[in-house]
Each structure stands twice: as C-alpha cells, then as structure tokens.
Amino acid sequence: LSTTRTLTTAYSPTSDRTREIVAQTVSSIGSKREGQQYLKLFTTVSSQQFAVIKVGGAILRDHLDDPCRNLLFLFELGLCPVVVHGGGPQLNDLLEAAGVVPEFQDGIRVTDAKTLGIARKLFLEENLRLIDRLDSLGVATRAIQGASGATYLDKEKWQYVGKLTEVRKQAIENSISAGYIPILTSMAEGDDGCLLNVNTDVAAAELARTLKPLKVVYLSEKGGLFNGDGKKISQVNLDEEFDYLMAQPWCRYGTRLKIKEIKELLDDLPRSSSVAIIHPSDLQKELFTDSGAGTLIRRGDKIQK
C-alpha cells in the first residue's frame, strides 16, 4: 500500500481496501454506517482542508504512540491532516537543567536568546521523534519549516516571542497533494530572520485560519472541556450557548479563555468547520461516530453528514 502511495499523488479513499479498514476499525467503536458517513463527509472538501491537528508537548512526551496510531489510521484512509506540535513541558525540564529560571509575564514565557536556543533544539528533536515513529509505522510525512512568518509580540516584554503574521501555505498544500502528512512546529520566522517562539494553540489556530479546514483538533490530556460538576461537555453550540457559558461561575481561567479563543477562530471559518478537543486515544471515536468522545464545538449548524 505504501508503495502505491509514493507512486501516485492522489488517494482513492473509496477503494475496497479502505472500506475494509473503515469497516473493521469503526465497527469496533461505532457502527459501519456512522464510519462511512463521516468518511464521506471528510472527503467532501479538498484533501488540504480536512483537518489541522494540534499535538501538545505533554502528549509527545508521554503518549507518543497514541497520536501516531491516529495518524496512521487517517493516513490509511487517505486523509492527510496538518499536524502542528509544541514541546512545552520538556522545555521546562531542559531549562531547569541548564540553570535557566523560567520567567512568565501575563502567562507567556519570556524567551531570551538562551531559552530560544534550547527551545529550537528541543522542537527539532521532538519533530524528529514524531517523524521517526510515523516512519516506522509507514506513514509518509514531511517536516515543514519556515511555513509561518511572525513579528515580535512585544520585544521589550517577552523578547523572542512571535505573533504570527502569515502562513505560507504552499509547502503545506504541496505536501498533502503529494500524499505526505505535513508536520510543523509552532516556531515562526521573524521578519528580521530570527526564529520566534509561538504558543502552539495560537499557531494551530492561525494555520486553521489560513487553511480553513473542516476539523480543528486539539489533542489534550484532559480529553475535553468540563463543566462545574466536573462532567465532560460533549458539545457546545456557540450560537445558542456562548452567552450562557460565559455567565457560568465555573467558566473561568483556562476553560473560559479556550472557549473564547475557539469562538473567535470559528467566527473566521466556514460554518461547517468545527473544533474537537479530545484525548489522543479517542480520535477515531470522535471523528467517526455520531456521539464522539471529547468536546465538539461548532457555531450552530447541525453537523452535516
């Protein structure tokens, strides 16, 4: 299968082999009908507009196999998501080992030259680790660097921290049309040629604003958003529920910020786009069943099938 894939440039997601894989995997998590319906939905858009998937640093460190198996599954189905990853928690460990005291201003890491140097090296290593693992599973990938341009967020305050100003999507789109899953880190090129550190969630959102995918997936260890009783919220319908959510006493800090950011992002995307926050072991269930597994956030329309 992988040989055919390198020889051809286009997938045929409806081949017998593919149907067989969908049927097998999906019937273990939902029904065959659901699986095929969603596969059909995900292939109604161009292959470059299927999904942007953000993989957080903690997941790369602690659960590398989960996202890799997910990506293998999608790849086998002919679906090529754009992957963007960070390295957050590992960075703290490395900085500590190097005797750098992490400093934050308004929740954002102050990135001096030494921190940037360590972060750069770390991100490349993590990128390679992810790609190597995917290689061994037979998933074709391309590491893409320099796809995003940035300016300093506030040089005085945060030093080498970037604010994305552009996503050069050519390399990403070419990679997908050639059948390779593009793997990006969240670092961006500053207008003065310096690399700048960019928050991975922000980088994923900016990529999504440019590529306008059907799905924006945040792989998180928590596996979703939770309400005041600690129950996972299965779906958020922003048109109807945003104000209600913002008025809830439990909707604070990280959760509040996340919902606001996601609303802003979805406001810039087609109404058919949605955001999913899920644990990496639940991606298949989220994407290929009606009930999903994590938290699905959309603007309002009924999910089209």
- The number of angstroms, rounded, from the C-alpha of 142 to the middle of its chain's C-alpha atoms is 16
Residue 303 sits in the site that holds ligand ARG (CB under 6 A): yes
Q: How far apart are CA 181 and CA 47, in angstroms?
A: 11
DSSP letter (8 states) at residue 193:
S
Write down the H helix ranges in the chain: 2-7, 16-29, 32-42, 57-62, 65-76, 88-97, 113-136, 155-158, 170-177, 200-211, 238-246, 253-267, 283-288
From the list 25, 235, 272, 281, which residue makes contact with ligand ARG (rule: CB under 6 A)?
Answer: 235
From its phi and psi, is residue 235 left (phi > 0), alpha (psi between -120 and 50) or beta? Answer: beta
Q: Would you say 25 or 235 has its CB closer to ligand ARG? A: 235
- Short-list 109, 121, 174, 129, CA closest to 147: 174
For residue 224 the two structure tokens come to 């979703």
Residue 39 sits in the site that holds ligand ARG (CB under 6 A): no
Q: Would you say 38 or 158 has its CB closer to ligand ARG? A: 38
Binding mask 186-225 for ligand ARG (x = CB under 6 A): ----------------------------------------
Count of C-beta atoms within a 10 Å radius of residue 229 = 6
Of 12-20, 43-51, 72-80, 285-293, the window that binds ligand ARG (rule: CB under 6 A) is 285-293
From the list 144, 161, 208, 287, which residue makes contact with ligand ARG (rule: CB under 6 A)?
Answer: 287
Residue 296 sits in the site that holds ligand ARG (CB under 6 A): yes
- The answer to whether the beta carbons of residues 102 and 36 sit under 8 Å apart is no
Q: Would you say 144 or 204 has its CB closer to ligand ARG? A: 204
Q: Would you say 45 or 178 has its CB closer to ligand ARG? A: 45
219 phi/psi in degrees, rounded to 5: -85, 120
Q: How far apart are CA 123 and CA 172, in angstroms?
A: 18
Residue 292 sits in the site that holds ligand ARG (CB under 6 A): yes
Coil/strand/helix, residue 102: coil
Residue 234 sits in the site that holds ligand ARG (CB under 6 A): yes
Q: Would you say 2 or 234 has its CB closer to ligand ARG? A: 234
Count of C-beta atoms within a 10 Å radius of residue 170 = 10
Residue 295 sits in the site that holds ligand ARG (CB under 6 A): yes
Site residue total, ligand ARG (CB under 6 A)? 15
Residue 282 sits in the site that holds ligand ARG (CB under 6 A): no
Q: Give helix then strand counts, H and E, for the chain.
A: 13, 14
From the list 251, 283, 294, 299, which residue makes contact with ligand ARG (rule: CB under 6 A)?
Answer: 294
Query: Minimum distance between the CB of residue 285 and ligand ARG, rounded to whole angstroms?
Result: 8
Question: How, if at all, do strands 51-55 and 82-85 pair?
Answer: parallel
Q: Would you say 119 or 296 has its CB closer to ligand ARG? A: 296
Residue 50 sits in the site that holds ligand ARG (CB under 6 A): no
- The answer to whether the beta carbons of residues 197 and 121 sit under 8 Å apart is no
Residue 36 sits in the site that holds ligand ARG (CB under 6 A): no
Query: Minimum distance between the CB of residue 97 and ligand ARG, rounded to whole angstroms?
Result: 39
From the list 11, 38, 73, 152, which residue makes contact with ligand ARG (rule: CB under 6 A)?
Answer: 38
- The answer to whether the beta carbons of residues 42 and 50 sit under 8 Å apart is yes
Residues 6+ apart with CB under 8 A from 10: 177, 179
Q: Would you say 118 or 287 has its CB closer to ligand ARG? A: 287
Interface residue list for ligand ARG (CB under 6 A): 38, 234-235, 274, 286-292, 294-296, 303
